[in-house]
Structure 1
Amino acid sequence: MKRYFLRLILLLQLANSNAQETLITNVEGRRNISLNGTWHYIIDTYETGFYDYRFKERKETDNGAYWNRNTPKSKSDLIEHQYSDKSSINVPGDWNSQDRQFLHYEGTVWYQRDFDKPQMQNNDEVYLYFGAVNYEAHVYLNGKKLGTHKGGFTPFNFKIPKELLLEKDNFLVVKVDNKRHADEIPTLNTDWWNYGGITRDVKLVIVPETFISQYTIQLDQHQDISESIRKKTFQVSGWIKLNQATNSKAVVEIPELKFRKEIDAKSDSIFFSSALKNIQLWSPENPKLYNVKFTFGNEIISEKIGFRKIEVSGKKILLNGQEIFLRGISIHEEIPQQIRRAHSLDDAKQLLGWAKELGCNMVRLAHYPHNENMTRLADEMGLLVWSEIPVYWTIDFTNPEVLKKAKKQLDEMIERDRNKASIIIWSVGNETPVSEARTTFMSTLVKRAKSRDDSRLISAALEVSGEGNLNKIDDPLGAFADIVSCNEYLGWYRGLPNDCETAKWETIYDKPLFFSETGADAKAGFHADKLTRFSEEYQQWYFEEQIAMMKRMPDNYVGISPWILADFRSPKRNNPEYQELWNRKGLISDEGVKKKAFFVLQDYYKSIISDDNAKRLKK
């Protein structure tokens, strides 16, 4: 009964949480039409298309507003803006990589394209869905504003009023603004490139008048998983959220398990629970996914979903009741060889393929939610995932409006990916400086994540305090996290790699200890002795010493995700010989070449796999 009421509370939270329309999840599993492709654009540094010359927001019918066509009716008409094939840009994609004039640009760019009305039934509705727009989006259709959204890495959608939708040549305009601000998430100061634009898919989603907006189905987290495995019977629970209240029926099916459940829908929220036999649990070794169908009226939504249980037991992390070591790597959403934001399935295959080649069973998707291709493919490939919101460094922890923005991005991350078995950790931030205000802010996010999703671990990447050879993890935020995660760079930002030989580690928390970052810069192809910074030999030495130190860690050491898989762009990295606006801590270069340190970490992971296999044989 207690779990039932917890679910009801969660559904009420979902119903009341939308800053715009409630997010429609699993767009790929619904009827949709892609609006990807070539769009027109106008660069608007002074935001002339948004404000008049008195710097007041333009009226909706103002011909000078860039959301209007402003088509000349005669040769005497004054025209000061127009969309043209001469200025075209690809969607999805960042603008920085598409034209040299955009390389360092931060400001407003207007995007525009036409589309025709999709085929619809009488009672169908159409939503406009964006996978992500960095950072602030104002969306207009046929001269009318549909809404706004802030947050560069999470999805959003708007309902298109039927009376606004034309049969032909619907005029869609998006004002995209990627300027950084002190009161936004992330804030002014970051260590990655501020790629602007419509960076992920744009789709029209066609749904019935009453439809399933969100849903989940998973193992009941309160069952004893070892006992369930022994009995081959598992308790599965979930819920369905409709876009509006109704009195009808919904059906949940897993054909492979011969499971079908019909549920009465007497409001906009439905909870269900059932016992299922012979489920193959999802794991990195066996990433089993089941085709799950949700039916309501004439709409059938399908999604491949895996079932697993992740939990902490004392100082260990257990997956499906078995101790697991996280062989990880951190990843930025970037394709280094093409110096652009990653967005396609092929991009995801490259990045996650490199991680598998390294020997990983886990990836940390830093420092923001990556596109859905990454998490969907991680499900299929059997890669565990740490997913994070960009609460990064020194945001304004005293500002309640900033906290609201962080909560919203956390909600959108969880809503989009709550059915991905691969995601085992929600992270609420990275390297935030300790203060009372910060701990209150961050612990509020931890509690919110737990209330939204109790099926995953919650953490944040903390910093380490060090004096002499003692490294102490005593950040007060660790008291709220399920696992204590820390970033450490002993041998790069402090001392030399051989300082690892005498390093001692302590933590005040009796919890699993995970090293969420460690690394050193190296420019691929630059070779010297191991004492020479930025050489491949220095980075190799760094990882050799780090790994030796990790092997001496206390028994609560449960994994590591070194920084970082591949070199990535950063305006903070200004060494003209070795960096050239690149963070060179990648194990793979900006040209896709593996550095020496790649193979050092790969060998470490091979030895862990070998040890794990030996333990299984003994059992």
Structure 2
Amino acid sequence: MKNFKTYLFSLLFTSYFLQAQMPLPEHPRPDFYRENWKNLNGQWDFAFDSLDIGQKQKWFANPANIQKGIINVPFSWASVLSGQKDLADIGWYHKKIKVPKAWSQKRTFVVIGASDWETHVYLDGKLLGSHQGGYTPFSFDLTPYLQYDKEQSLVIRVDDKRRDFTLYGKQGYGNARGLWQTIYLESRGVDYVEAFEISPDIDKNLIQVKAIFPQATSKALTLKTHIQTKEGITFQKEVPAGSKEINFSIAIPKPRLWTLEDPYLYDYQVQLGDAEQMDQFSGYFGMRKITADFLPNSDIAYVFLNNKPIYLKLALDQSYHPEGFYTFPTDKFMYDEIVRSKKIGLNGIRTHIKAEIPRKLYWADKLGLLVMADLPNSWGEPGELMRKEAEFTLREMIKRDFNHPSIFSWIVFNETWGLTTKVEENGKKKSKYLPSTQKWVTEMYHLTKDLDMSRLVEDNSICCGFGHTETDIHSWHSYLPGYEWDEFLKKQSDSTFEGSTWNFEKGYKQGKQPMINSEFGNVWGYKNSTGDVDYTFDYHKAMNAFRNNIKVAGWLYTEHHDVINEWNGYYKFDRTEKETGLGALAKGMSLKDLHADFYISTGQEITFAGKAGEKLTIPLTLSALTDQSKLGQNLHLKVIFEGQTAWGERKTWWENNRLIDFKPWSVQKLQDLTLELPKDRSINTLHLILQDDNGAILHQNFVNVIVENGNIQPSDPKQKLIEASLENPTALKWSKKDWRAVDGHKLNGAGFGFYEYEFNWPSNLKEGDIAQVSFFVEASPKPLLGKDRVDSGKMEGDYMLGKGTSDPSKNPNSYPQTDSYKNPGIVQIFANAQLAGTVDLEDDPADHQGILSWHYQPRNHELNEAGTYGYWVQVNIPALSIQEAVNTGKMKIKLEVPEAFSTGLALYGTKSGRFMINPSLLIKTK
């Protein structure tokens, strides 16, 4: 990470701030809220039990054994924000609690949002109960042991020994050890509601309600439900004694639907029983419907929201925080996570193999963002214990999160992790996805459907040669270089039809499911994956390709933010911004344009190259994945062709407009764009701007056009350009290392040192004829990255379990993408030994602006400093230097980084960086 000291200071400040006040003071379940509650987050006594002697020595009855340290609850003891270090598998917690006398007419529970993995809870030495599992809430009744208005000792023991059958997920990115969600006290009625599931029916204008009780009710009770609307809706239901659940429906006249644009939530309050022993709680729900159906006048299936198709634009959200791991430091941070997705034009996220924190789901509900919810996976085999753990957690997840309108699908398994069994074949052990396991997976699919008929369910989000069994969504993962998407997506589309066995296991076949990509990116698309690298170039190619294939009903990019071994997020791990470079290449363009309902695509190719004067044909398609009501009458395509020459002149070659006839929910071929390449060597942008009748911009896109061997002389006869070959400096010396990159077209020097170029001075140019001479080159600083160091070693270990992650730039395909952490540098330019100027170099950038560094990459599944580029550096040559050039016939230009700075230097030529230039002299005569 760039500027590690700044990051470390921020980390320590955050840790101090959170320990100085109660972390996460908000009620953890806005969807299921009881007014009488008390948050227990904050400072607890804590002790590790590495020898597992605490139970034998009865620490639960003698908290003095636990008062050895302090932990900041609810942060995992492995995380920085806990204030502890991960020293053992067993930890003990202690805190003094006091329950008010006012709660004495009801029952008081201690509620733990999540604790990993086996948890025992004691009050004044008495065992209240134990729980096994790592992701869902549980509670114990304190009432029989309470002494109201008096301090009592609450002790918790958590055993998180590694067990292969548990749902470990990706905790290698940061273990969720011990308590990791809010713990609190809660007052409930003598008889109380354990879950209150609301299934909206927008077609019948009603909700179906299921009230679930923890055990049979002790007597006949009345359950009253009040829904807050303009007129108010109150419904009363009699609950017979001995009931374990009741079901009823409530009419919702003229419902206001929950949509992404208007995520309206209905608040409700519930009362069970009478007077002092009444159970009371409140929550919310959204009137929305999730189905799969066909696009209008077609047999292509899409996901539908409220009976209308929706094109899915999702991100994989691993949902980790650098200092809190599974746990976010503040509610504001969780709010901002949802805002970050909407800000760039996404309409959903996939919370990846982690049962999400309910308050983050609340903000998805509140702000309008769809969520795919994963069941975490095990890393063992699908034995009896693993199956029991998976089924239990699935049931508890669905029970907890049933009322979140943002969740539109459940994913039961991911990439067949935890589903393979080692068997012996031909004397060798192999991992096989057995038919018996596939049968169990179908049973889990049906169990999920039985538990929740209101959402779509995936059996297995598939990858790596494995297939589906029974599923509501035909999903698949693929990680590819950008140049392979057109062919790949055509094959996916051609192979998708009812009855096809493509992407399905033997004995199973496709039905009428929507077909979506549920993971893609370049992070695993190259040999050995990619480290920190510009994702935008390949992403742009993929977006163009996806939008040309209407059968693909959506995509899911890996990923929302970087994690410790994958650095390809829209945002960095600390959620700071990355630079895409899109706006610099096409003014006003941003990621939202790549996520627009309307989309002009040129296919996967976004750079074209040719000779001056050649004719180039660029294919165009219009993807209009939106409803007719949003389209207006006409679409207008404005095309601007502009560029920059070898001597730095900006030119607009031409622009035109065309009217487009269109159809909603279609991908239609447009007339190709044919252009004649300019005569000048140049790098150009073909800027595509789609507008409605009122001139409002609906979408922008671009391709870059490289003229490789055109004229390099300015049209002004008083100007002359002389250039040197970048690849052939006359002298160089660097203190640490010098080498070439981008297939030999970029020069790198690390530490302090210089490059020198010698220019032949035109014999017909005398000193008195010259008005000005300037030198220009494309340059940037050059830090020594992990992969550049001789002693860097290899990235070793299991990536998914968090190994080999000390330096993202160790990856051979990496080059850190431009972000808010700068690597500034300096270069001094000498002309015939005279100082011509000193230039500050802002950063060592790598993003979409590194057009040439991307375009000239060999297509061999490897990357060599892709996306890197520099700045246009230009200085005027001193008169004494010009005089010597006239006298000697030579102009020597030395680009030097002094020892006091040692920031290195990179130089770019006509096949690297962002400008079509070599080191050059521009001579202006009088």
Bin of the TM-score, shorter chain as denominator length: 0.7 to 0.9
Match of 1:132 in 2: 114
* Matched-pair contact (CA < 8 Å) for 2:350–2:372: yes
Question: Match of 2:595, SS?
Answer: helix
Match of 1:36 among 17, 35, 41: 41
Q: How many residues align?
A: 526
Match of 2:291 in 1: 311
Q: For residues 388 and 581 of structure 2, what CA distance do their matches in structure 1 show?
A: 40
Match of 2:483 in 1: 498
1:216-231 equivalent positions in 2, closer than 5 A: 216-220=197-201, 228=203
Match of 1:604 in 2: 594
User: How far 1:153 sits from its partner (Å)?
Assistant: 1.7
Per-residue displacement from partner, 1:472-500 (whole Å, max 9, x unpaired)?
xx7142xx211122221123xxxxx3122
Match of 1:181 in 2: 163
Match of 1:418 in 2: 402
Give the TM-score normalised by the residue count of structure 1: 0.78
Question: Match of 1:421, SS?
Answer: coil
1:208-247 equivalent positions in 2, closer than 5 A: 208-220=189-201, 228=203, 234-243=205-214, 244-245=216-217, 246-247=219-220
Match of 1:543 in 2: 539
Q: Which runs of 5+ in 1 are unaligned?
A: 1-23, 51-57, 59-63, 72-80, 467-473, 492-496, 523-530, 570-581
Question: Match of 2:291, SS?
Answer: strand
User: How far 1:568 sits from its partner (Å)?
Assistant: 1.7
1:388-537 equivalent positions in 2, closer than 5 A: 388-392=374-378, 394-397=379-382, 399-432=383-416, 434-464=433-463, 475-477=467-469, 480-491=470-481, 497-503=482-488, 504-505=491-492, 506-507=495-496, 508=500, 509=510, 510-521=512-523, 533-534=530-531, 536-537=533-534
Q: 1:435 to 1:209 in 2, by over 3 A?
A: same
* Matched-pair contact (CA < 8 Å) for 2:272–2:279: yes
Match of 2:369 in 1: 383
Q: Which runs of 5+ in 2 are unaligned?
A: 1-28, 295-300, 421-432, 501-509, 583-589, 600-622, 632-663, 665-926
User: How far 1:421 sits from its partner (Å)?
Assistant: 1.1
Match of 1:76 in 2: none
1:131-170 equivalent positions in 2, closer than 5 A: 131-165=113-147, 167-170=149-152
Q: For residues 455 and 289 of structure 1, what CA distance do their matches in structure 2 show?
A: 17
1:532-611 equivalent positions in 2, closer than 5 A: 533-534=530-531, 536-537=533-534, 539-555=535-551, 557-569=552-564, 582-596=565-579, 601-608=591-598, 611=624
Paired letter, 2:39 = S
User: How far 1:583 sits from its partner (Å)?
Assistant: 2.4
Answering whether residue 75 of structure 2 is matched by residue 93 of structure 1, we say yes
User: How far 1:558 sits from its partner (Å)?
Assistant: 1.9
Q: For residues 225 and 138 of structure 2, what CA distance do their matches in structure 1 show?
A: 26
Q: For residues 82 and 451 of structure 2, what CA distance do their matches in structure 1 show?
A: 42
Q: 1:176 to 1:608 in 2, by over 3 A?
A: farther
Match of 2:256 in 1: 280
Match of 2:21 in 1: none
Match of 1:7 in 2: none
* Matched-pair contact (CA < 8 Å) for 1:292–1:302: yes
CA RMSD, Structure 1 to Structure 2 (Å): 3.0
- Greater relative CO, 1 or 2 (CA 8 Å, sep 6+): 1
Q: 1:171 to 1:70 in 2, by over 3 A?
A: closer
* Matched-pair contact (CA < 8 Å) for 1:186–1:395: no
Q: For residues 388 and 532 of structure 1, what CA distance do their matches in structure 2 show?
A: 24
Q: 1:106 to 1:566 in 2, by over 3 A?
A: farther
Q: 1:137 to 1:443 in 2, by over 3 A?
A: same
Match of 1:68 in 2: 61
User: How far 1:159 sits from its partner (Å)?
Assistant: 1.2
Q: Which has the higher strand share?
A: 2
More moved, 445-454 vs 507-516: 507-516
User: How far 1:592 sits from its partner (Å)?
Assistant: 2.7
Q: For residues 150 and 465 of structure 1, what CA distance do their matches in structure 2 show?
A: 32
User: How far 1:436 sits from its partner (Å)?
Assistant: 1.6
* Matched-pair contact (CA < 8 Å) for 2:98–2:152: yes
Question: Match of 1:277, SS?
Answer: coil
Q: For residues 581 and 162 of structure 2, what CA distance do their matches in structure 1 show?
A: 34
Match of 2:336 in 1: 350
Q: Which has the higher helix share?
A: 1
* Matched-pair contact (CA < 8 Å) for 2:408–2:456: yes
Q: For residues 329 and 476 of structure 2, what CA distance do their matches in structure 1 show?
A: 28
Paired letter, 1:265 = V
Match of 1:19 in 2: none
Paired letter, 1:282 = W
User: How far 1:206 sits from its partner (Å)?
Assistant: 0.4
User: How far 1:180 sits from its partner (Å)?
Assistant: 2.1
Q: 1:163 to 1:146 in 2, by over 3 A?
A: closer
User: How far 1:202 sits from its partner (Å)?
Assistant: 0.5
Per-residue displacement from partner, 1:379-421 (whole Å, max 9, x unpaired)?
10011111111125x4321x22221111110111111111111
Paired letter, 1:560 = W
Q: For residues 196 and 257 of structure 2, what CA distance do their matches in structure 1 show?
A: 20
Per-residue displacement from partner, 1:244-289 (whole Å, max 9, x unpaired)?
3231211112131532111111142221123331110111111011
Q: For residues 296 and 167 of structure 1, what CA distance do their matches in structure 2 show?
A: 26
Q: For residues 340 and 548 of structure 2, what CA distance do their matches in structure 1 show?
A: 28
User: How far 1:205 sits from its partner (Å)?
Assistant: 0.9
Per-residue displacement from partner, 1:518-553 (whole Å, max 9, x unpaired)?
22349xxxxxxxx9953533x223212322331233
* Matched-pair contact (CA < 8 Å) for 1:115–1:171: yes
Q: For residues 100 and 169 of structure 1, what CA distance do their matches in structure 2 show?
A: 24
| % same residue | 23
User: Considering only CA atoms, is the larger Rg found in Structure 1 or Structure 2?
Assistant: 2
Q: For residues 130 and 113 of structure 2, what CA distance do their matches in structure 1 show?
A: 14
Match of 2:758 in 1: none
Per-residue displacement from partner, 1:115-136 (whole Å, max 9, x unpaired)?
0123335531011101111222
Paired letter, 1:416 = R
Q: For residues 261 and 340 of structure 1, what CA distance do their matches in structure 2 show?
A: 39
Give the TM-score normalised by the residue count of structure 2: 0.53
Paired letter, 1:383 = L
Question: Match of 1:374, SS?
Answer: helix
Paired letter, 2:247 = F
User: How far 1:611 sits from its partner (Å)?
Assistant: 4.1
Match of 1:300 among 256, 280, 283: 280
User: How far 1:106 sits from its partner (Å)?
Assistant: 5.4
Q: 1:597 to 1:210 in 2, by over 3 A?
A: same
User: How far 1:304 sits from its partner (Å)?
Assistant: 2.1
Q: 1:602 to 1:136 in 2, by over 3 A?
A: farther
Match of 1:289 in 2: 265
Q: 1:277 to 1:546 in 2, by over 3 A?
A: same
Match of 2:102 in 1: 120
Paired letter, 1:259 = I
Per-residue displacement from partner, 1:360-382 (whole Å, max 9, x unpaired)?
11111111111111111111001
